[in-house]
């Protein structure tokens, strides 16, 4: 599976500008690219309590549907985040948009401190099989909690796709946490982080990366805008688990209701 990681700036609250860049990036994909991965909330940018009602986007709205159509036209899947407006309730959401349509909707379960009072946390993890790979989504701060990746592994994930918005002074945090999440679950993890300065003066650190099931880094970006391509050798998952399988030796199981939908989406619903 080939993934292109777009490490870029985002204009907070400027969906039209961000959408133009998303569609341009899609048009520039290599013919053999399977998935295009963007940073956290890249469609809308981060919103505030004052503007989330005006600037958040519905999943069935014009902006998201423009990406759905472009994914179909270019035969590439897109992992894209937004501040979602679900009938007046708001979430930090990442979508897995395949050429077939939106296959996964994940609402961030672990909110970063400034998000409280703006969006609500999600209540479930989910995976779906696509092109022979079962994949799941996480968002930024989620990756700092071992249970999030373990939930995806419980749902059969072979690949974690993480939209990120990591800023100074925590430059190293997600390098460490994502390497650990990949190794302890023996899965691939790929992260797209944002760069540039935010409206409140924060500086996003980039350092997007991909990690294999042994916890080894396949690439790590710098601090500027860039685009990286990584091809995953999925046979490494079996090789890593053949040596010793962490899940086979796991003694503490995650709570939650597991639901397997006819669509192929598997969910773990949490309290």
- Residues belonging to the active site: 40, 108, 140
Beta 266-269 vs 2-7: how paired, if at all? unpaired
pLDDT at 43: 98
**pLDDT per residue over 188-223, tens digit each?**
999 999 999 988 889 999 999 999 999 999 999 999
Measured distance CA(137)–CA(93) in Å, rounded? 10
Decide if pLDDT at 180 tops 90.
yes
Return the pLDDT at 201: 87
pLDDT in tens, 243-267: 889 988 889 999 999 999 999 999 9
Q: How many CB atoms lie within 10 A of CB 19?
A: 21
Segment 126-141, tens digit of pLDDT? 999 999 999 999 999 9
Cβ–Cβ < 8 Å for 45, 10: yes
Class of domain 2-269: alpha beta
Average pLDDT over residues 143-157: 97
| Spatial distance between the Cα atoms of 186 and 149, rounded to a whole number of angstroms | 10
Say if strands 2-7 and 226-231 run parallel, antiparallel, or are unpaired. antiparallel
Q: What is the pTM of this model?
A: 0.97
For 90-123, write each residue's pLDDT tens digit: 999 999 999 999 999 999 999 999 999 999 999 9
- Single out the residue of 228, 234, 46 nearest to residue 140, CA to CA: 46
pLDDT at residue 26, rounded to an integer:
97
Measured CA to CA, the distance from residue 151 to residue 163 in angstroms comes to: 17
The answer on pLDDT for 271 being more than 90 is: no
Domain boundaries, the chain: 2-269
């Amino acid at each position: 599976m080939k993934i292109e990681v777009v490490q870029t700036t985002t204009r907070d609250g400027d969906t039209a500008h961000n959408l133009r860049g998303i569609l341009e990036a899609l048009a520039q994909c290599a013919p053999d690219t399977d998935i295009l991965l963007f940073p956290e909330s890249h469609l809308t940018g981060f919103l505030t309590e004052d503007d989330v009602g005006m600037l958040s986007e519905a999943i069935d709205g014009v902006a998201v549907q423009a990406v759905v159509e472009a994914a179909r036209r270019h035969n590439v899947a897109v992992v894209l985040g937004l501040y979602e407006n679900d009938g007046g309730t708001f979430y930090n959401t990442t979508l897995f948009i395949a050429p077939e349509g939106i296959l996964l909707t994940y609402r961030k379960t672990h909110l970063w401190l400034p998000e409280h009072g703006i969006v609500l946390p999600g209540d479930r993890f989910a995976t779906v099989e696509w092109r022979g790979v079962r994949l799941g989504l996480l968002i930024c701060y989620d990756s700092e909690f071992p249970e999030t990746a373990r939930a995806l592994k419980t749902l059969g994930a072979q690949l974690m796709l993480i939209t990120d918005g990591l800023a100074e002074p925590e430059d190293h945090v997600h390098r460490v946490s994502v390497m650990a999440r990949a190794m302890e679950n023996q899965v691939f993890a790929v992260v797209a982080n944002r760069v540039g300065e935010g409206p409140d003066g924060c500086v996003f650190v980039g350092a997007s990366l991909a990690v294999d099931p042994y916890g080894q880094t396949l690439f790590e970006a710098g601090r500027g805008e860039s685009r990286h391509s990584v091809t995953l050798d999925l046979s490494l998952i079996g090789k890593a688990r053949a040596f010793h399988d962490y899940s086979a030796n796991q003694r503490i199981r995650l709570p939650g209701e597991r639901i397997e939908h006819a669509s192929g989406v598997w969910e773990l619903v949490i309290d």
